[in-house]
Amino acid sequence: MKKSVEILLQEAISLKASDIFFFPKNDRYQIKVNVLGTNRIIKECSKEFGGQLINYLKFQSNMAVSEKRRPQLGSWIYSDEKNEVFCRLSSVGDFLGNESLVVRLIFPSTFFEENYFFEEQIYTLQKACIKNGLIVFSGPMGSGKTTTMYNLARKLANEKHVMSIEDPIEIYEPNFLQLQVNNKAQMSYSELLKVALRHHPDIFLIGEIRDNMTAKVAINAALSGHLILTTVHARNVYGVYQRLKNLGISDEELQQTMQVISYQRLIPTIDGGAKVLFDQIEGKDLDKDIIQGNIQSRMTKDWREKLEYCYLNNWINKESFETFIEG
């Protein structure tokens, strides 16, 4: 069974898949992977064999193998001669007692390190990290937001004290002090942020700003001289600003703290790979469009020009160009 699981994981890793799904279907299991937002079947097997695969993965992840219906979470670090991948597992049973399992593959922060279309966009973020304040990332699940944040923070970890607060921890980084949200133990984002401030870190990685209290604590930390790297759920750079305002942050606070708003997508390339394209607004430019309300499109002019450049230079195909032109 160990060998069968290793073959599955190695295939998923070679495809740079974000997830592996074990879905019961009649008397069989379908095993799918998600690659760049598209699911593809890589294997079908008997119900018995699929159950054995699931049991092996659950055992490795310290989950209760005998529990088939109730939701469970687990984690496991898979390693071979070439790779070390953090696996986050979630299982649940349907009303018939058939168990399904999802394995999220969290690659090391160096795995996609060079996969950016335009280096100057990374330089913009690196330059912003030299200062204190707020750098906010957005983009759909699997677009590499956490990887980008970790890449930026890792370059500063030798000289700066870095703490991360996530729900759950997505990348293991021994050079950071990593805290994990546990609401049952009254360890919410906002509570952990308050505690973490007593450790006087230079840089905070906050997995996501979800509520008013977390937003306020993050803004206050940025105002008091910390660098905050975080994500906000929004569909574009303009939406990030509006989302923070809806969470009770004022225009003045955002103007004082915001270094960069960065929206990103992982876009398929013609050679079969994928690279990240950013849509960015620097803090000094906020009042030009967003605050004055002069927004004419979902994406900035720079996004459309850079995507067109990728297409004209045959880095991406026409389908990708048309798919991502509005983000």
Give the Cα-Cα-Cα angle 156, 183, 163 (nearest 5 degrees).
Answer: 10
126 and 65 co-located in one domain:
no
Model pTM score? 0.78
Asked if the structure places residue 200 within a domain, the reply is: yes
14 and 127 co-located in one domain:
no
Average pLDDT, consecutive stretches of 10 residues, N- to C-terminus, the chain (327 residues) = 88 88 92 85 92 93 89 86 84 88 79 76 93 93 85 85 83 82 76 80 89 89 92 90 91 91 93 90 75 65 95 94 91
Q: How far is it, in rounded angstroms, from Cα 89 to Cα 307?
A: 35
100 and 125 co-located in one domain:
no
- Provide the 3-class DSSP secondary structure of residue 264: strand
125 and 29 co-located in one domain:
no
When divided into structural domains, the chain yields a total of: 2
pLDDT of residue 37: 72
Which of 58, 81, 106 is the last residue before a domain boundary?
Answer: 106
pLDDT of residue 186: 72
pLDDT of residue 320: 92
- For residues 284-310, b (16+ Cβ closer than 10 Å) or e, as one string? eebeebbeeeeeeebbbeebbebbeeb
Which of 61, 82, 106 is the last residue before a domain boundary?
Answer: 106
Find the domain containing 69 and state its range.
Answer: 2-106
pLDDT of residue 165: 86
CATH number for position 94: 3.30.450.90
Which of 84, 106, 128 is the last residue before a domain boundary?
Answer: 106
247 and 196 co-located in one domain:
yes
The encoded tokens of residue 25 equal 């279907």
CA distances for 257 relative to 7, 29, 60, 235, angstroms: 47, 50, 43, 21
298 and 182 co-located in one domain:
yes
Asked if the structure places residue 111 within a domain, the reply is: no
61 and 178 co-located in one domain:
no
pLDDT of residue 190: 77
CATH number for position 313: 3.40.50.300
pLDDT of residue 56: 94
Cis peptide before 168 (omega within 30 of 0): yes
pLDDT digits (tens, 9 = 90+) for 24-35: 998 899 999 988
132 and 191 co-located in one domain:
yes
pLDDT of residue 111: 56
Asked if the structure places residue 67 within a domain, the reply is: yes
85 and 129 co-located in one domain:
no
Asked if the structure places residue 112 within a domain, the reply is: no
205 and 290 co-located in one domain:
yes
Asked if the structure places residue 114 within a domain, the reply is: no
CA distances for 215 relative to 35, 207, 249, angstroms: 32, 12, 7
227 and 86 co-located in one domain:
no
Asked if the structure places residue 228 within a domain, the reply is: yes
175 and 61 co-located in one domain:
no
Asked if the structure places residue 254 within a domain, the reply is: yes
